């Protein structure tokens, strides 16, 4: 999943603000699902959300305005009450790639009122088929 750093995402250090990365991770998760034939919108329409319960990011190098980024997403853990994703954010510049950040998010399926629920069976089955070995959580 590729995206460009928006001007609004920069701060006065002339780099992308560190909270922007958190938004990019989410956008990358949504596209990762879409590539597998699932729309997160549909899951929400069924009344299930994947609430973020944990987040860690290791920032290695700055992202700058207009940089083209590539976000690699991996599903590290898939249980009925717990999902865990790993991410690598890279800057793409022609043939060059530089790792800007590593991250991990942990999710809990919830219903519309925010209560923890089990992930619907078909989603869980699908998810398990997409598990990928990944690096350990970033050292924050």
Interacting residues toward its own copies by CB under 8 A: 4, 6-8, 10-15, 17-19, 22-23, 26-27, 30, 39-41, 44, 49, 51-59, 62, 65-66, 104, 106, 110, 114, 137-140
In the complex, the smallest distance separating the C-beta of residue 86 from its own copies, rounded to whole angstroms, is 12
Q: How would you classify residue 37: left for phi > 0, otherwise alpha for psi between -120 and 50, otherwise beta?
A: left
Closest approach, Cβ 127 to its own copies, in A, equals: 18
Shortest distance (Å) from residue 44 CB to its own copies: 7
Is the Cβ of residue 64 or residue 124 nearer to its own copies in the bound state? 64
Nearer to its own copies, 49 or 80 (CB): 49
């Amino acid at each position: 999943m590729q995206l460009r750093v928006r001007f609004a995402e920069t701060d006065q250090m002339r780099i992308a603000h560190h909270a922007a990365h958190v938004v990019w991770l989410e956008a990358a998760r949504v596209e990762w699902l879409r590539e597998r034939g699932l729309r997160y919108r549909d899951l929400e329409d069924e009344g299930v959300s994947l609430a973020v319960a944990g987040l860690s990011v290791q920032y290695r190098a700055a992202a700058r305005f207009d940089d083209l980024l590539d976000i690699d997403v991996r599903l590290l853990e898939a249980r009925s009450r717990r999902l865990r994703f790993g991410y690598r954010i890279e800057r793409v510049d022609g043939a060059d790639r530089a790792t800007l950040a590593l991250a991990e998010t942990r999710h809990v399926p919830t219903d519309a009122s925010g209560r923890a629920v089990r992930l619907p069976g078909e989603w869980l089955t699908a998810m398990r088929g997409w598990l990928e070995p990944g690096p350990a959580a970033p050292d924050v």
